[in-house]
Amino acid sequence: MPIKDAENYIREIAVDMDLRKSLYAYSTSAEMMTSIKDSGFNFKLYEFEESINHLKVESPDEEQAIMLEEILLWWKMLMYDGSICEEAKSASCSPSRCFSCSSC
């Protein structure tokens, strides 16, 4: 499941500085994502951000939420170089019904 893969990857990079540093060896974000997928973490860029937001909501304290926000900022600076074009999932609901569906 992509969201779980993203959450597991976030947990990995939160504690493994060498893993984070290894991503700088790639020349494009597309190469990085291929390597990440080859490592068993199959998610898209937007799913990483969704997972960060989900983990922030579940954070037991403000310190962890701040750390997650810093990881998201790092991720955006690292990944959004324009070499990956993907569509974010679109919600199938309208704003007036959003509270009652599970698509967004």
Q: What are the sequence ranges of the domains in the chain? A: 2-100
Name the pLDDT band for 85 (thresholds 50, 70, 90). low
Arithmetic mean of pLDDT, 38-49 = 93
One-character DSSP codes across 36-87: HHHTT----HHHHHHHHHHHHHT-SSHHHHHHHHHHHHHHHHHH-SSS---P
Q: What is the pTM of this model?
A: 0.75
Q: Is the pLDDT of residue 67 over 70?
A: yes
Arithmetic mean of pLDDT, 6-26 = 94
Name the pLDDT band for 86 (thresholds 50, 70, 90). low
